[in-house]
Chains A and B, each alone.
Chain A
Amino acid sequence: MSLDVLFNQFMSGIARAAMLFLVASGLSLTFGVLRILNFAHGSLYMLGAFLSYTLWKSLLTPALGFYLAAILAAIIMGFFGIIIEFFLLRRLYARGWPEQLLATYAIVLIITDIVKYGWGGEFLSIPRPKPFTGAVFLFGFPFPSYNFFIILLGLGLVIFLWWLVYRTRLGDIIRAAARDREMVSALGISIPRLFTWIFVLGALIAGLSGAVTAPFGSVALGMDIEIIVECFAVVVIGGMGSLPGTLLGSFIVGEVYAFGIMFKPELALAFIFMVMAVVLIIRPWGIFGKPER
């Protein structure tokens, strides 16, 4: 097996990692601050994808259409996030995990039916937007340029989140609230409002990642559960609520899967969960996570 073949497979893994990071970062962020395991994160991602399809269809401006549709879809999902947080999650922060899981799972079912009602069961597809239709060549091997776009977007999101969390005053508050929300509240900062904004940010990221996956693959029912399971693997490996952890988790899951497919395709999926199990045994809180207090 030559080196260029391995490199090519490595790049496939990176593309997958970028996609996973886009979705998992929002999941991890909401968990880190709100302490809510949002099972419906994948559903927000799915709804974002369906919305972007409809917007793209109705905008009909071929050049900018898709990008505009993606941004609009993300914003709409942000508003949707406000509704969910304000009417449901807000009432659940003080409750136990089982109730939170049940409530977010209820959202999964509701969104699935909204999609069935609004779009039917058809699978939809958006052609790749310009200028990312073709491929670029790396060492003589083609690599789809849209995958590059997703990798760049993933990197952009990493930088943005890092800047937000570690370099802004809001980030200081976010990190403080993640550690001790009573103390932050005592300093005169409105915790409910902060939580709403964090959830909205998570929903926005979910909507955006759903929208950008629409031209990548297909938009169909069931994509919510498919992604959320892998995202859970990512955040469990990397550490719940940790940004570098999510990045590392995405990288590990993406690469383990890519090379699993190459060498032992029957077990590719099992490898991911074997890694997860090992991490859970050695560091139950994940590689970059902190033990629950």
Chain B
Amino acid sequence: MRKFIFLLGMVVLASFLLTAEVGSQAKKPTQKEPIKIGSICDFAGPCYMYCETGLNGLRIAIEEINAKGGILGRKLDLIVRDTEMKVDVAVRELKDLILREKVNFLIGPCSSGTGLAMQVVHSEYKVLRISAIANTEAMTVDKFSPYFVQVVPNTYMEATANTRYLHKKVPNAKKFCTIAPDYEFGRREEAAFADEIKRLVPDAEILYQAWPKPGEKDFTAFITAIMAKKPDAVHSSLFGGDLVAFTKQAAPYGFFNIPFIALYDLPVLMALGPDAPEGTFGFGRGCFFMDPNPKMMAFVDKFKKARGTYPDAWAVQNYDAMYLLKAAIEKAKTTDTEAVIKAIEGIPFEGLRGKFTIRPLDHMGTVPCYQGTIAKDPNYPFKIWKDIVRVPGEEVIRPEESVREIWKKTGVVR
């Protein structure tokens, strides 16, 4: 009997100690410890600029949130890492962020290559990442992971939307050429263009497809080769410095008499200045002149004051990514990854680009795509767009059946 009482006492004592231990452990992190946000940037080559401006957008969002007391009473802590646009460095830095820094959430990167490589790793460690620059469809569709959320229109949505715009502008065009940078992004955009144009114009013909390498500086031979085919219109997913070079080299040939659409967004138009071809079509992911709503313009003022320049879509998307995360954490009332993922699926969200949500099936944001026609504007020292169309993501997102069909091939089970 005595033995029994002693044993009982021990059990009671042990369970008391155990609960106390667990209790103190559970209490510690929720009390005022900062929420750590890991930002992964590709500070190299063409991605350098996108990451720099994107990071500025992210910083402004974090400063704003912290000034208002953080999320769930916890401040945000930003930790920035550079992948040098190399897959091995990306994985190493990512592991360090997860294992040593113990970040709660990840935002980034710019390159589809480093993004895809990282997806495997952070999914394994069950850390949520939001992509705010890279937009290959492979991240949401082919290689779907529940630990990944996309707030940039992916290659499929973007190309589908801008193909419709091109078709609306030149409904009689039947013969097309394409020119796109020769890697993941360019290949996927042009594949989506080919699909969509055949839906819109059943007898459409793609005469010639040019694939300059990313970073190409001399497009002369591509330009003359395209013009020799005499197409009705040209679809392109050239962007950044490549598009600047292409535009300057193509203009003297009278190339822009052919209807042409490419990623003429803010940095390209600013770099081109007077050389930007008026009347040519552009597409983009949402900067101030594409969507001049009050929320966006307030952000522009703040950004200009802080950084001395106009924010482009990369800054907007990073800013939106941070606020989306905030909304999801507040809805979940915890920073627990699984709960936040549950909260983010189908969340009603209003960002700088208006309303969108995250589709539960593949975590693709129903973010808008923008197209317009290049034109002068007396309010800006560079050319912007007119005839602007905002295509809500719901209209161009890949249908769920189609996503499931691809998943059958790539082995994604959901």
Residues of A with Cβ closer than 8 Å to B? 1, 5, 8-9, 11-13, 15-16, 19, 116, 120-125, 127-128, 133-135, 142-147, 213, 215-223, 226-227, 257-258, 261-262, 265-266, 269
Please provide the chain B residues from 236 to 279 with a CB less than 8 Å away from any CB of chain A in the complex: 240-242, 244-245, 248-249, 252-254, 267, 271-275
C-alpha gap A19/B216 in the complex (Å): 13
Residues of B contacting A12 in the complex (Cβ-Cβ under 8 angstroms): 220-221, 223-225
Whether A217 lies near B245 (C-beta < 8 A) is yes
| 5 A-B interface contacts by CB (under 8 A) | A8-B227, A116-B48, A144-B220, A218-B248, A222-B215
Whether A127 lies near B225 (C-beta < 8 A) is no
Residues of A contacting B245 in the complex (Cβ-Cβ under 8 angstroms): 216-218
Of the candidates A8, A147, A220, the one having the most CB atoms from chain B within 10 angstroms of its own CB is A220
What mask results when residues 9 to 52 of chain B are scored 1 for a CB within 8 Å of chain A, else 0?
00000000000000000000000000000000001111111111
* B208 lies within 8 A of chain A by Cβ: yes
Whether B252 lies near A122 (C-beta < 8 A) is no
Whether B253 lies near A144 (C-beta < 8 A) is yes
Q: Sorted from nearest, which 6 A-B pairs have the closest CB atoms? A: A121-B48, A217-B245, A123-B241, A144-B252, A121-B49, A220-B241
C-alpha gap A146/B219 in the complex (Å): 14
Residues of A contacting B47 in the complex (Cβ-Cβ under 8 angstroms): 121
Whether B253 lies near A266 (C-beta < 8 A) is no
Whether A127 lies near B249 (C-beta < 8 A) is no
Query: 14 more A-B contacts (CB under 8 A) besides A116-B48, A144-B249?
Result: A16-B218, A120-B52, A123-B46, A123-B49, A125-B244, A127-B273, A216-B248, A217-B218, A218-B241, A218-B245, A219-B241, A220-B240, A222-B44, A258-B220
Contact of B220 among A127, A147, A213, A222 (CB under 8 A): A147
C-alpha gap A125/B267 in the complex (Å): 11
* B355 lies within 8 A of chain A by Cβ: no
By DSSP majority rule, is chain B's interface helix, strand, loop, or mixed?
Answer: helix
Residues of B with Cβ closer than 8 Å to A? 43-52, 208-211, 213, 215-225, 227-228, 240-242, 244-245, 248-249, 252-254, 267, 271-275
Residues of B contacting A127 in the complex (Cβ-Cβ under 8 angstroms): 273-275
Contact of B49 among A120, A215, A262 (CB under 8 A): A120
C-alpha gap A227/B213 in the complex (Å): 12
Residues of B contacting A218 in the complex (Cβ-Cβ under 8 angstroms): 217, 241-242, 244-245, 248, 271
Whether A122 lies near B267 (C-beta < 8 A) is yes
Whether A221 lies near B45 (C-beta < 8 A) is yes
Residues of B contacting A8 in the complex (Cβ-Cβ under 8 angstroms): 224, 227-228
C-alpha gap A222/B209 in the complex (Å): 25
Contact of A215 among B45, B218, B248, B267 (CB under 8 A): B248
Whether B228 lies near A216 (C-beta < 8 A) is no
Number of residue pairs across A and B with beta carbons under 8 Å? 136
C-alpha gap A12/B240 in the complex (Å): 23
Contact of A9 among B50, B208, B221, B274 (CB under 8 A): B221
Whether A9 lies near B225 (C-beta < 8 A) is yes
Residues of B contacting A266 in the complex (Cβ-Cβ under 8 angstroms): 211
Min distance, Cβ B187 to any Cβ of chain A, angstroms:
11
Min distance, Cβ B188 to any Cβ of chain A, angstroms:
16
Closest to B85 in A: A222
Residues of B contacting A134 in the complex (Cβ-Cβ under 8 angstroms): 252
Contact of B218 among A15, A121, A219 (CB under 8 A): A15
Residues of B contacting A11 in the complex (Cβ-Cβ under 8 angstroms): 224
C-alpha gap A120/B46 in the complex (Å): 11
Contact of A257 among B209, B210, B221 (CB under 8 A): B221
Contact of A122 among B51, B225, B271 (CB under 8 A): B271
Closest to A142 in B: B253
Whether B240 lies near A123 (C-beta < 8 A) is yes
Whether A262 lies near B248 (C-beta < 8 A) is no
Residues of A contacting B227 in the complex (Cβ-Cβ under 8 angstroms): 8
The answer to whether A216 and B249 touch (CB under 8 A), given A123-B240, A135-B254, A221-B45, is: yes
Closest to B240 in A: A123
Whether B221 lies near A262 (C-beta < 8 A) is yes
Contact of A123 among B213, B216, B271, B274 (CB under 8 A): B271
Whether B225 lies near A222 (C-beta < 8 A) is no
Whether A221 lies near B46 (C-beta < 8 A) is yes
Whether B49 lies near A217 (C-beta < 8 A) is no
Closest to B270 in A: A122
Residues of B contacting A145 in the complex (Cβ-Cβ under 8 angstroms): 252
Closest to A136 in B: B252
Contact of A226 among B48, B215, B267 (CB under 8 A): B215
Whether A19 lies near B218 (C-beta < 8 A) is yes
The answer to whether A217 and B217 touch (CB under 8 A), given A123-B241, A222-B45, A222-B46, is: yes
Min distance, Cβ B349 to any Cβ of chain A, angstroms:
29
The answer to whether A226 and B225 touch (CB under 8 A), given A125-B271, A142-B253, A216-B249, is: no
Of the candidates A125, A147, A226, the one having the most CB atoms from chain B within 10 angstroms of its own CB is A125
C-alpha gap A8/B219 in the complex (Å): 14
C-alpha gap A142/B228 in the complex (Å): 12
C-alpha gap A146/B272 in the complex (Å): 17
The answer to whether A16 and B220 touch (CB under 8 A), given A125-B272, A125-B275, A142-B252, is: yes
Residues of B contacting A220 in the complex (Cβ-Cβ under 8 angstroms): 46, 215, 240-241
Residues of A contacting B44 in the complex (Cβ-Cβ under 8 angstroms): 221-222
Whether B220 lies near A223 (C-beta < 8 A) is no
Residues of B contacting A147 in the complex (Cβ-Cβ under 8 angstroms): 220
Of the candidates B215, B217, B254, the one having the most CB atoms from chain A within 10 angstroms of its own CB is B217
Closest to B242 in A: A218
Whether B224 lies near A125 (C-beta < 8 A) is no
Contact of B217 among A122, A133, A135, A227 (CB under 8 A): A227
Whether A13 lies near B221 (C-beta < 8 A) is yes
Contact of B210 among A144, A223, A265 (CB under 8 A): A265
Residues of A contacting B43 in the complex (Cβ-Cβ under 8 angstroms): 116, 121
C-alpha gap A11/B253 in the complex (Å): 13
Whether A262 lies near B218 (C-beta < 8 A) is no
C-alpha gap A12/B228 in the complex (Å): 12
Whether A128 lies near B217 (C-beta < 8 A) is no
Of the candidates A11, A123, A133, A144, the one having the most CB atoms from chain B within 10 angstroms of its own CB is A123
